[in-house]
DNA sequence: ACAAAAGTGTTTCATATACACCCATGC
DNA sequence: GCATGGGTGTATATGAAACACTTTTGT
């Protein structure tokens, strides 16, 4: 589509990729999505989910498309991490890549799609050796996500409409990878006017029953 | 250089640009470097310093090269801000751009080069209207730089080998755009073991004379 | 009665901010 | 002796973290 008579003709061009670091909570562990490459280059090695930017889409759109193709999710939280542009970062050819990270609700993910594209969920504390510059990307992504989860809205994408404070805390703990103090946690929650108590009580989780809450803020996702 | 028989042939390619947001302190004001475009597209409009990534360099290297070509500086602090990839962000042609910001010592900058490339220093509080998505980039860059300047080493690139605490504070205040409390500032400084008093006294700036300090940490720059 | 999860406040600590006067020297 | 910039400490506020017992109810 690019017209070769633009003022920019003669300027080199590059493949531009997107790499997605997709997190989810499975059981009580934070996992991320990898693929084992059954194609060259680096065949047999584990790799992040990636794709190439098309002519008719923005880089952000490409990332969302890749996310969608793999998980069926159209409105998950996704955020840019940065560009990775070393010459030999991809041994196959020169590819400049923009990395994104995302946190999704496991229950909403189309696991058939994931499997059919050879995706596998891997515990973040048991990651295999990864090719390219993916280890750095993952490290960065995890730090940023953990920073965001304590102060942001993004955790509510992983919760049902109504939830107990224990559910909320458990989820945050799984993402953070460490336990949190219950009273301090609830203190912070109570300061957040976007989390409101409902009249309902959940009787599933305990004899006594737990108050159900609702998040009334805007769910953070594609903007 | 890309071999067309790689597994990636057929994938679209893009011009990849770098945009540099170059800050410096002039007199007592924070400035940044702009060019007035005397070429299409957007001729006559102000713009950030930019360039294109070449085949034989990484994206980071391209940014450093652009910085060097414009200022003559080879070892200034520079840091990636992120990728900007909207389809029509550049009205001339599809260009995916990676933005960087940098903070340089005005005295070290080759002002001939700047002028010969039509660069102009502009007070950050008196920026003209800018094309493309440059206003967003600048906003982000300024926030990040101010966050870093208080806790980082980057300010020492703008100071001579030996400096007084007043010089240091003045500089930080200029970058922050607001005054700081002298005693609190010095308290923080004293906690930093990388800033050490020397035996020397500067007699230029005052009758009494001021202790000269030295920064013994690693100067933050290209890594 | 007891098991199991829900709920609830206070103390402590570290960090950030506000604030004003004396010191040394050259003229 | 006075003008100029250099140098110094304490009190308060705010936010983060540590910490343990009572409540409710189904079995």
Q: What is the pLDDT of residue B41?
A: 66
Contacts of A19 in chain B (CB under 8 A): none
Look at residue B105 and tell me whether its pLDDT is greater than 60: yes
pLDDT of residue A1: 44
A166 touches strand C (CB under 7 A): yes
Place of tokens 């605490």: B165
- Answer yes or no: are the C-beta atoms of A49 and A19 closer than 8 Å: yes
Beta-carbon pairs below 8 A across chains A and B: 110
**pLDDT of A5 above 60:** no
Q: Which residues pair with B199 in a beta bridge?
A: none
Read off the pLDDT of each residue in B24-39 and give the average, rounded to a whole number: 90
With residues binned 3-state (H G I as helix, E B as strand, rest as coil), the percentages for chain A, rounded to 5, are: 30, 30, 40
- Whether the pLDDT of residue A16 is over 60: the answer is yes
- Provide the mean pLDDT of chain B: 91
* pTM given for the model: 0.91
In this structure, what token pair is assigned to residue A165? 């404070």
- Overall average pLDDT of the B106-123 stretch: 95
Summarised one tens digit per residue, pLDDT across range A144-169 is 999 999 877 889 989 999 999 999 99
The pLDDT value given to residue A179: 96
Residue A210, CB, less than 7 Å from strand C? yes
Share of chain B above pLDDT 70, in %: 93
Using CA atoms, how far apart are residues A143 and A101, in angstroms rounded to an integer? 11
Question: What confidence tens digit (pLDDT) does each residue in B51-94 have?
Answer: 999 999 999 999 999 999 999 999 899 999 999 999 998 888 89
For residue A53, what is the nearest residue in chain B, using CA coordinates? B12
Task: Answer whether any strand C atom is within 7 A of the Cβ of A204.
Answer: no
Q: A17: helix, coil or strand?
A: strand
**Dihedral sign, Cα of residue A192, residue A193, residue A195, residue A198:** positive
Residues of A in contact with B56 (CB under 8 A): 87
Among chain B residues, the shortest Cα distance to A51 is held by B11
């Amino acid at each position: 589509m690019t017209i070769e008579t633009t003022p920019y003709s003669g300027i080199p061009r590059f493949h531009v990729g997107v790499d997605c670091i997709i997190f989810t909570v499975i059981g009580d562990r934070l996992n991320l999505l990898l693929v084992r490459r059954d194609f060259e280059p680096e065949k047999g090695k584990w790799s992040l989910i990636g794709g190439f930017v098309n002519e008719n889409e923005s880089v952000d759109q490409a990332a969302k498309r890749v996310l969608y193709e793999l998980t069926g999710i159209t409105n998950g939280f996704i955020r840019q991490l940065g560009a990775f542009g070393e010459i030999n970062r991809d041994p196959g050819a020169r590819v400049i890549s923009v990395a994104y990270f995302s946190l999704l609700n496991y229950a909403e993910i189309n696991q058939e799609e994931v499997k059919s594209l050879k995706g596998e969920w891997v515990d973040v504390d048991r990651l295999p050796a990864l090719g390219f510059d993916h280890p750095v990307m993952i490290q960065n992504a995890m730090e940023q996500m953990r920073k965001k989860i304590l102060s942001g809205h993004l955790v509510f994408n992983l919760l049902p409409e109504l939830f107990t404070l224990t559910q909320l805390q458990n989820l945050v703990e799984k993402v953070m990878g460490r336990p949190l103090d219950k009273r301090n946690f609830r203190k912070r929650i109570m300061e957040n006017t976007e989390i409101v108590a409902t009249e309902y009580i959940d009787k599933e989780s305990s004899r006594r029953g737990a108050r159900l809450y609702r998040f009334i803020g805007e769910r953070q996702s594609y903007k």
